[in-house]
Structure 1
Amino acid sequence: MATPDTCYWGYLDREQPAVLDVEPGTTITIEAVTHHSGDAPDLLMDEGVTKIWDGIPESERSPGVHIMTGPINVRGAKPGDTLRVELLSMKPRMPYGSNCAANWGLFHQEFGKERITIYELVDMPSDGSFPTSARPMFGYDFKTLELYDIPGIVTPPDPAAREPFGRQVTVPVRPHLGLMGVAPEGERRSSIPPGVFGGNVDNWRFGPGATVHYPVFAEGAGFYVGDPHFAQGDGEMCGTAIEASLDVTLRLSLADDVSTTSPLLKTDTHWYTHGFGDDLDEAMKMAADQVLRLMVDRGGFTMDEAYSLASVAVDLGVTQVVDGTVGCHAGVALDLIG
């Protein structure tokens, strides 16, 4: 469960005490809570979420913004190993989520304001699983603070400020964890920038059925989850996804058949490597370098062969442009390298 005792807010730290130790191959269900629950507390905050807000004071919510559940240590994991995370299923905690066009979004200067849009899931199945689509309900200009720069700020519901969305549209639901990873090297750091340890990667493909591999930097690995989303597009243009709390069932194990130096995603159809940098050129080059090495290591190609194949069969993309450290990914089909 996500409680003040099993969550920490705004930072990643290899010294954070583990809340659970498990054997490799263990399947667990974890509650991931969105830090944007206060955008519509009447819709996004239940008793359990409220206890986290009440139990973790504002002074302990820094230097980043996200709520992490964990860490979870995997017995026997040591630096140099690869942690395998199989994402088995996800369920919405509540059928609502928030999108914030924020001061860190791509066009904040042009819009000159921040705005919240609340989404709801459409035609929820009776078993509580995800439907296929969500729709925007209403929006309001954020005026609770001059800037949305205090993690967990709660905006009291104001029916007069909530403006119905202009027309009825739906978007595909892509439930996933925006933030997931292992304890990083070095000292405590913000939860916002992603890196080779994972963290705030914000790849919408980190959803049910996916498997993500991480290099291990600390004894036990120190696995955590956070920043749950209902949906996101590549780029995360306005600053956030549909931020919404999820219950996630996953399996943790140690991979002896995969070695990686950065988050490595496997879906039903593709491998995806990830790159990070101060700008898109740097991030793209890292993702491309990672995929070339993957093609050599797993596909058995020479580097010359991989370079040619990548140019005609690998898709490079922008993961996100709003987390300070930007991210790119490179996808190569399983049919090509196995």
Structure 2
Amino acid sequence: MKILQKTEGKIYSFSPEHDPIYRAKDGESLTIETFDCFTDQIKSEKQPLADLDWDKINPATGPIYVEGAEPGDALKVTILAIETDVLGVMMVGPGLGTLGEQVEDMKVKVMHVRHGRVLFNQLSLPVRKMIGVIGVAPAAGEVNCGTPGPHGGNMDNKMVAEGATLYFPVQTPGALFALGDLHAAMGDGEVSVSGVEVAGSVTVKLEVIKGMRLEQPILENGRYFTQIASAETLDEAAKIATDLLVNRIATYTNLKFEDALMLMSAVGNVEICQMVDPLMTVRAVFPKSILDQLETTLLP
């Protein structure tokens, strides 16, 4: 299996102008190493933060050209495994996150990650490995890796974990896939502006779904089908995600729109992924157990 080292190529934006560091065959599995969101600059709580290069935030390893991917297709990304480093970093600072106005000074916390636990002060927290930045290039221009959108990007969705499968709208030849910003743990909202940031590696399988047109990324795992959406406000993102999911339910079942909407209201959830990036990200979540009763899937 091909291993892409993080030193082979890192990007700080998604763009069709980036040269690919690797050409993957349709259906190929590969392992992608990543820097942490600070490009591995922080090693100690004592080092001066003024020394950090703040232009080197949220790098993604890539991009990867996927053979056969064309605009109008979807890129299917199955997350087979996530491995994290043994050192995790968190940060708070004035003006950052949801309560940044109450923070007086920049503060960094460095934590050990081992034996399935994160050591936070005297507390032992469970490791919940996930990917913060993952996606494909937009059709034109560039999107900073810190910003989410229809292309994916910095969605900071804790369901982007081992066993999940994502679908991204291909907007440029080859899709130009990249990922980074791993977390050993992160709660919904990412309220302080960081999770437990770690370097590591991710093993994925990349597949092209021809003719599968999407407006925003989709995620599914063994229990749930979810529609992800990002927008300027949480309200707008929630409406987009719910609209896309309910209409998909109506399309792939014999339910009328009104019944699909009521069913979503009865058994589905609308959940915050993150509320600290330039755009807010929300997921609309529907249980697959109900789809089993309906004897359907929500994919072509």
| One-letter code aligned to 2:265 | S
Residue 81 of structure 1: which of 58, 73, 98 is its match?
73
Change (3 A) 1:176 1:242: same
Tell me by how many angstroms 1:2 deviates.
3.1
Residue 188 of structure 1: which of 133, 142, 166 is its match?
142
Asked if 1:99 corresponds to 2:90, the answer is: yes
1:228-247 correspondence to structure 2 within 5 Å: 228-247=182-201
Deviations 1:124-157 (A, max 9, x none): xxxxxxx2x2121xxxxxxxxxxxxxxxxxxxxx
Q: Which residue of 2 aligns with 1:65?
A: 57
Q: Which residue of 2 aligns with 1:17?
A: 19
Asked if 1:31 corresponds to 2:22, the answer is: no
**Structure 2 contact 127–185 (Cα < 8 Å) conserved:** yes
Q: Which residue of 2 aligns with 1:135?
A: 119
| TM-score normalised by structure 2 residue count | 0.88
**Structure 1 contact 2–33 (Cα < 8 Å) conserved:** no
**Structure 2 contact 151–216 (Cα < 8 Å) conserved:** yes
Distance 1:200 1:326 in 2: 10
Q: Any idea what SS the aligned residue of 2:173 has?
A: coil
Tell me by how many angstroms 1:205 deviates.
1.0
When structure 1 is superposed on structure 2, of 181-190 and 244-253 the one drifting more is 181-190
| One-letter code aligned to 1:96 | L
Tell me by how many angstroms 1:39 deviates.
2.3
Q: Which residue of 2 aligns with 1:173?
A: 127
Asked if 1:264 corresponds to 2:218, the answer is: yes
Unaligned runs of 5+ in 1: 43-57, 124-130, 137-164
Tell me by how many angstroms 1:263 deviates.
0.9
Q: Any idea what SS the aligned residue of 1:184 has?
A: coil
Q: Which residue of 1 aligns with 2:159?
A: 205
1:140-159 correspondence to structure 2 within 5 Å: none
Q: Which residue of 2 aligns with 1:6?
A: 9
Distance 2:88 2:227 in 1: 28
**Structure 1 contact 275–284 (Cα < 8 Å) conserved:** yes
Tell me by how many angstroms 1:114 deviates.
2.2
Number of equivalences: 282
| TM-score normalised by structure 1 residue count | 0.78
Q: Any idea what SS the aligned residue of 2:26 has?
A: coil
Distance 1:229 1:250 in 2: 17
Q: Any idea what SS the aligned residue of 1:104 has?
A: coil
Residue 318 of structure 1: which of 265, 272, 292 is its match?
272
Q: Which residue of 2 aligns with 1:283?
A: 237
Residue 307 of structure 1: which of 261, 274, 279 is its match?
261
Deviations 1:143-184 (A, max 9, x none): xxxxxxxxxxxxxxxxxxxxxx2xx22222111110000111
What value does the CA root-mean-square deviation take over the aligned residues? 2.1
Asked if 1:40 corresponds to 2:34, the answer is: no
Distance 1:91 1:65 in 2: 20
Q: Any idea what SS the aligned residue of 2:242 has?
A: helix
Q: Any idea what SS the aligned residue of 2:239 has?
A: helix
Asked if 1:111 corresponds to 2:103, the answer is: yes
Q: Any idea what SS the aligned residue of 1:170 has?
A: strand
Unaligned runs of 5+ in 2: 46-52, 292-296
Distance 2:262 2:194 in 1: 36
Tell me by how many angstroms 1:72 deviates.
0.7
